[in-house]
Structure 1
């Protein structure tokens, strides 16, 4: 388990005019919003800090209404208290709804930063709510542009509020009505980065849109009269949609529902694709299929890649131990290929939060998060398989625990990913060079055996092996040019991302030289924790 913030996740549902769908709740067409918590539960892996939903009902005073709070989906929607949950769902019943789960990639951990964001207005077309999954690399420039226009004010340090104002301006610039495709076309010209949007207004119009690079995954399904969308396919599958009906929204595409009619439109040209490879190897639910590639099969392939480069002697005492949970598929396939057991030598405490949720004391949290089983590892040569190493704090603690409490004779770390060489500015909490483990040892993206040996010594391991850069594209089964691998090779798919990388390099160089940083303003909040 890498000590990372996860992604955010978005969901949407709409019961189109007609007979009640077999997948809809028993309460009827106007209660389809009750399905949002179910969708969000299946993408809870993408955000556990806050959750929320906005529903549309044409026959109530609050045409669209939003419920959101800090906490898990279960907490926010009171799912452990059936009577309270039913009362809440009755209050927010509607024919359509959007939902969101959040980690803080930008902004504070309080209710006002939870999504969806809702903008009230007396004019129906200007009253809307939206949820956002991604990160705008040019957030600072966009924010400054808005504030420079005169009597404008932004109350929050988050690109979501900036995006809300940009959407508002686009709608205001259309006095004759709302052309949602035109709104997206104009937004696409301004936004740099990753941005998936679910949008719902008080006219009952809905938009589900994916940015032209397709950095973050987004899929949808239609059966009978029911439309649903989510960040991951597992949410739609568990709702009852057949595998054949679940479709990945293409980069630059949007589903627009207006006047009860659904259309899929291309609002921006997708000149290139930059799917985040991390989605397959770490973020996504192992049950999901992203852009026609199974997450499980990707992780299985990564484990086979690890096995193919193994050089440590194998004997009857050798075992593979995965770091729970995302590394398990890779560990299983590595062990199978090598013909040795894969055993659960590390047991995760399910009641301790993920270490990447907290920004401090990760080492102390890791000690309580995993329990090493001495009866599994004592006297053994142990291959510890991890999905990635970002800051190394968790891995150092684990190696120490495996030796001291687990009694392992040897500890060999195997990482089912190349080294994290550069920061991410598209929605992952690793936004500066200085905080990363690998760049302290590497002057270029390619790693050598000598560098791995130095890293292993500093971690306290007997050996360390990463996968080569080429392995990612092979495992994902997509050409390298269709993937965003900026954190592996420093090659960013957008201009603003490249600019922020250069700033981060300058800051790291300045910090190491002991000079005061001169880029603090640019570093807030784009170069701080976010999403």
Structure 2
């Protein structure tokens, strides 16, 4: 569905140029940048608004150079125009590159907000570019501090957390007075609240890949002989040729530093707990990825098994193999739907075909019904006369679900539609990188008296949406399916228990301003401490 927008994705590549023969990369170091658009294509599920990269090349006058453009990766990097694409790589590449795909959770939809951000300086170690994935929950406070403490030095133009990070990186370099990336990131960890995975590259050819102390967003890396690579997910690394045994998740509060051609991992911040975002497994990540030692596919399959067990226990309608089918809402619902169908002994069918070739801008035009028709095609040959168990990964705003259900009945000819949600109700906003920051935009809270929906409440929601029945998974199923303990996960949008102090304060602010427009984390909030 188009209800929950994707986050950003980051990537990094470095040809260390050692004498050790690599099984993955043996090419010209200056050609390493050709691999970056390929990695970003594998991260396209995390953002289609803009893409870019920064490259370090000691053989050119402009040691560090950045290219970024609006649009999906193929458009941003002009991949349909080989000569133009080659020119981009040649002019902006090098032996070390960082890259980014963007979806805007903060800031406007224009090229200025595309990443990486670059800060030029006459000293090489202070000339840097960086990109990040996440959201600083306290960025409004950090921004105010910049302007209050250094009104003549800092100019804040973009009103987003990426620019705030840019200024704080520069300020720490100025205050520290020496080139110590580990200390710089240690100091920043004492100020930042939220999710902030960062890839950093300076004009000395030094690279930093860091993961925030809670590990809210995933970050993977691999190293084979002379090639180092990192990405928000494991799939881009697998598709470069790294074996699964060579791919690891970077531990929260740790960073990778590449300096003078040497690779090292440093702990830069204490991690009292982890708070891995459960949505990464059930929605955001590529189904082929493995995050923090847990397969996305196996997690979604486990959710489907839970749905099947719940179906048996609730027994809301008679299931007959002759006239009942399971249909996923593509694409993220498929693994759960297949597992559910297998456990129930009924067919799983692709009754909805997703149009993967409709551009984002084209879909944004027209009314809601037009968007649904552009995005999905119901197959009457599959749906007609059937009782359909429609498996959805989550319901956040429900803005298109009702239209889709009508579409399935009117065009597909389904006899009944029973919605099964492979996720508990979303009842609280997210302030760590998912674009749902206000209470009023969420579907479930106003329709539930408590934290857990009753059967009567789910029945009322089904009627409102136009379904014959509706069932959510219980909260406790999430940790079980992800093979994690609840204490390892961020489930704030399900439980209202936020892993950081500012997250909790922003939630209280969102309750007070639930009838106002605008993202909560863009409003001022009185905060005395970031940690």
**TM (normalized to structure 1)?**
0.94
Which residue in the other structure is 1:40 paired with? 40
Q: Deviations over 1:299-354 (max 9, x none)?
A: 00000000001112111100011101010000000001111111111111122246
Which residue in the other structure is 1:514 paired with? none
Which residue in the other structure is 2:160 paired with? 158
Residue 361 of structure 1, CA deviation: 4.5
Q: Please point out which of 458, 467, 484 is paired with 1:461.
A: 467
Q: Aligned with 1:173: secondary structure?
A: helix
Residue 525 of structure 1, CA deviation: 6.2
Number of residue equivalences: 517
- Aligned pair in 2 of structure 1 residues 446, 346: CA closer, same or farther (>3 Å)? same
Cα distance in 2 between the residues matched to 1:426 and 1:211: 11
Residue 276 of structure 1, CA deviation: 0.2
Q: Aligned with 2:190: secondary structure?
A: helix
Matched, 1:524 2:525: no
Which residue in the other structure is 2:6 paired with? 6
Residue 403 of structure 1, CA deviation: 1.1
Which residue in the other structure is 1:247 paired with? 248
Cα distance in 2 between the residues matched to 1:283 and 1:341: 26
Q: Aligned with 1:367: secondary structure?
A: helix
Q: Could you tell which deviates more after superposition, 45-54 or 143-152?
A: 143-152
Residue 80 of structure 1, CA deviation: 1.7
Residue 367 of structure 1, CA deviation: 2.8
- Aligned pair in 2 of structure 1 residues 254, 329: CA closer, same or farther (>3 Å)? same
Which residue in the other structure is 2:171 paired with? 169
Q: Are the counterparts in 2 of residues 433 and 504 from structure 1 also a CA contact under 8 Å?
A: yes
Cα distance in 1 between the residues matched to 2:331 and 2:219: 23
Residue 405 of structure 1, CA deviation: 1.0
Which residue in the other structure is 2:93 paired with? 93
Cα distance in 2 between the residues matched to 1:354 and 1:156: 24
Residue 47 of structure 1, CA deviation: 0.6
Q: Deviations over 1:361-396 (max 9, x none)?
A: 444312321111111111111111100011111210
Cα distance in 2 between the residues matched to 1:526 and 1:127: 31
Which residue in the other structure is 1:122 paired with? 122
Which residue in the other structure is 1:367 paired with? 373
Q: Are the counterparts in 1 of residues 438 and 519 from structure 2 also a CA contact under 8 Å?
A: no
Which residue in the other structure is 2:529 paired with? none
- Aligned pair in 2 of structure 1 residues 469, 357: CA closer, same or farther (>3 Å)? farther
Q: Are the counterparts in 1 of residues 431 and 521 from structure 2 also a CA contact under 8 Å?
A: no
Q: Aligned with 2:513: secondary structure?
A: helix
**TM (normalized to structure 2)?**
0.94
Matched, 1:314 2:319: yes
Gaps in structure 1 of 5+ consecutive residues:
512-516
Q: Are the counterparts in 1 of residues 492 and 498 from structure 2 also a CA contact under 8 Å?
A: yes
Q: Aligned with 1:229: secondary structure?
A: strand
Cα distance in 2 between the residues matched to 1:384 and 1:503: 36
Cα distance in 2 between the residues matched to 1:154 and 1:360: 35
Q: Could you tell which deviates more after superposition, 494-503 or 82-91?
A: 82-91
Q: Deviations over 1:215-260 (max 9, x none)?
A: 0000100001111000000000000011111010000010001122
- Aligned pair in 2 of structure 1 residues 125, 362: CA closer, same or farther (>3 Å)? farther
Cα distance in 2 between the residues matched to 1:356 and 1:75: 15
Q: Are the counterparts in 2 of residues 12 and 98 from structure 1 also a CA contact under 8 Å?
A: yes
Cα distance in 2 between the residues matched to 1:322 and 1:362: 20
RMSD of aligned residue pairs (Cα, Å): 1.9
Which structure 2 residues correspond to residues 20-35 of structure 1 after superposition, within 5 A? 21-24=22-25, 26=27, 28-35=28-35
Q: Could you tell which deviates more after superposition, 33-42 or 362-371?
A: 362-371
Q: Deviations over 1:473-520 (max 9, x none)?
A: 011000001000001111100111111111111112xx3xxxxx5x97
Which structure 2 residues correspond to residues 129-528 of structure 1 after superposition, within 5 A? 129-149=129-149, 150-151=151-152, 152-175=154-177, 177-310=178-311, 311=315, 312-315=317-320, 316-353=322-359, 358=364, 361-508=367-514, 511=515, 524=522
Gaps in structure 2 of 5+ consecutive residues:
526-531
- Aligned pair in 2 of structure 1 residues 25, 66: CA closer, same or farther (>3 Å)? farther
